[in-house]
Structure 1
Amino acid sequence: MSDIVRSLSTSGLTPKKQIQCWTEALTDLCGQFDVDPLEASSFEGRINYTTVSRLKLCQIEASQHRISHTVSRARLSEHPYVKILFQTQGISYFQQNGRHIEVMPGDCLAYDVSCPHTIISPSLTRHDVVIVPKELLQERGFRLARMSACKLSARTGTGRIAHDFVHAAFDEAAKLSPVNAIGVADSLIDLLLLPLREADAMFDRVGPEAMYVRAQAFIREHLRDPDLCIDQISAELGCTKRYLHMLFSDRGITVSDSIWHARLQNCRHELETQAGKTITDVAFSWGFSSSSHFSRVFRKYFGFVPSAIHKAQQGGLPSDVDLRA
């Protein structure tokens, strides 16, 4: 099964503990932030959160406050996420790169978490949030260099459909098998990007960019096929292998590496979430034909062998090995 819904609340804590609790919760979700309750004597916050594959879905309610990701914080830690926020109650004021955006109920805000920013909420706010690893967006032609905060409407059209899908995915997350969770996550990302595409915020719609997006989509759909190769992809897209090589090399990766990296990420996720599965079962289900080859490339990519995950689940992993890398 996929992840359960977890909850955190600052209710009943001392004011100092409330800020500490909220800061730690944000750090676990997407990075380090400074939290200020403004003029209030206490801070009341509640988060319900779950995961669908590698996406984090959150329902957040908070009293008046300000959160800041500062330049000093940026030097201390990485925030490799894009956050897509749907405001459902209250007004928030977002600031990033000299831009000031007012976010009201029915608005959707998409922004790069790694770039220093501040969000001020002068009264109670509620919002639904999807935290997306940047690499999942890069696979779909997302141009990080062009990323700037973008406010869209979730009241009608694709924005509303995307928000409805987020609600449904959150409610059903605990019932999804790991395989289905990957499919739902892929669909959710593509759906969330529809309103952004309409706004022409981050995508080139035609030419090489569109072809690259199509290639990545084909790879995701056929990732479990051990025979997946550049010949299949070029035939599906109706382009030459040379052109396909060029599309990927322009992004600093080969077609083959893109396939194997995606398989390894899915293998790691499955090993971490399905303790009963053997390493061989997981490797073969994602297109590897040799468990020894799988272990070798897994260690090269992640820095530890896949069996370390099982040892960690059994409490036998040395303390200096970090599986969150």
Structure 2
Amino acid sequence: MAASTLLSTDIVTPRDRAPQWCEWVSSHFGGLQSDLYGDTEFDGHMASSQAGDVILTRLEANRHRVVRTASMVRTSDVAYLKIVAPWQGSALVQQQGREACARDGAWVIYDTTGTYQVGNPERVDHLIVMVPKEGVAERGLRFDGAMATRLGASGISRVALETMRNTYLELPNMSAAAAQGAGELIKQLVKLSLMELAGQDTGVSQREALRDRIRAYVQQHLRDPSLSVDAIARALNCSRRHLYNAFGGEGESIAGYIQRLRLQACIRDLQQGGPHARPITDIALSWGFGNPSHFSRVFRDHTGKSPSEFRGS
């Protein structure tokens, strides 16, 4: 049976949870800075196991960001390729001047031997996989251009995603030998995914890159009431048609994506009760809803309750 490491803020007093979490993240992932978007309340859980030399961690936590600085890179001992594959929530990875956003059904890979930043702007349930870099990279193969890239939608990268998830879930039932074999399989599938990515169609990669830029822009400007398809098109220097084409197949429009993120943010703020709870209108306006009546209407459509009913439930 594969050994597991369990860490939970449930055993920590509320006021000490945030600093304890930051310490755990830094220790477990080999040196990271964390911040909680200014939040004062936090809870998080990590459960980690190994499949040979591949480390798989399930991380469930409130919104937070992590940063790996140049000084942290220099003090690191082991070189890993790191993968974040969300079950719930999203992860926005920035490295080497690129950025990619993953949700359920996708994964993003990045390199711990370089600086990077990962934003988790909502509560998350992520699978994080650390693969020794030497187990994937071979002489003559360069994957630098694949870092901060989204994979997993189809092909071998989809097989890799399901294998990583299933391996994590089944590790408690595996012998040490079986776990090591599963780790070797993960390394091989990750390598094949990167090789497939290197030869993929340029049009597809450009469309995915634009889609990730759209998501990143929306995340950064979510509180701006003037955020719109036209504003995004101007900022990214492309046409509305290109935006719509890039976002095709996502199951929602760009406007629907913006509204969903704003509603999720308002829901989080409404769940913060107590004597210092903010007025509902202030929350709505702070997340870009310019009309309180419109906010109440779309909130009820999304949750089945009015904002005041939701806060009181």
1:147 shift after superposition: 5.3
Give the aligned partner of residue 123 of structure 2.
124
1:127 shift after superposition: 1.4
- Any conservation in 1 of the 2:8–2:44 contact (CA below 8 Å)? yes
The structure 2 residue matched to 1:170, chosen from 168, 171, 181, is 168
Rate the CA distance shift 1:84–1:152 in 2: closer, same or farther, 3 A: same
The number of residues matched between the two structures is 200
Rate the CA distance shift 1:37–1:100 in 2: closer, same or farther, 3 A: same
Query: Which 5+ residue runs of structure 1 have no aligned equivalent?
Result: 203-325
Q: What RMSD in Å do the two structures reach over aligned CA positions?
A: 2.6
Rate the CA distance shift 1:176–1:28 in 2: closer, same or farther, 3 A: farther
Give the aligned partner of residue 80 of structure 2.
81
Give the aligned partner of residue 316 of structure 1.
none
Q: In 2, Cα distance between the equivalents of 1:201 and 1:131?
A: 24
1:85 shift after superposition: 1.6
1:116 shift after superposition: 0.9
Rate the CA distance shift 1:24–1:85 in 2: closer, same or farther, 3 A: same
Rate the CA distance shift 1:29–1:14 in 2: closer, same or farther, 3 A: same
Structure 1 position 22 matched with structure 2 position 21: yes
Rate the CA distance shift 1:8–1:71 in 2: closer, same or farther, 3 A: same
Q: What does residue range 1-325 of structure 1 map to in structure 2 within 5 Å?
A: 1=1, 3-11=2-10, 13-14=12-13, 17-138=16-137, 142-143=141-142, 146=144, 148-200=146-198
Normalised by the length of structure 1, the TM-score is 0.55
SS at match of 1:199: helix
Rate the CA distance shift 1:43–1:140 in 2: closer, same or farther, 3 A: farther
Q: In 2, Cα distance between the equivalents of 1:76 and 1:184?
A: 29
Normalised by the length of structure 2, the TM-score is 0.57
Q: In 1, Cα distance between the equivalents of 2:25 and 2:141?
A: 25
Letter in 1 for 2:112: V
Letter in 1 for 2:70: V
Rate the CA distance shift 1:140–1:42 in 2: closer, same or farther, 3 A: farther
Give the aligned partner of residue 239 of structure 2.
none
1:137 shift after superposition: 1.7
1:87-128 Cα distance to aligned partner (Å, 9 max, x none): 222223222222232233322101101211111222112211
1:42-78 Cα distance to aligned partner (Å, 9 max, x none): 2221111100111101111121111111123223334
Query: Which 5+ residue runs of structure 2 have no aligned equivalent?
Result: 201-313
SS at match of 2:10: coil
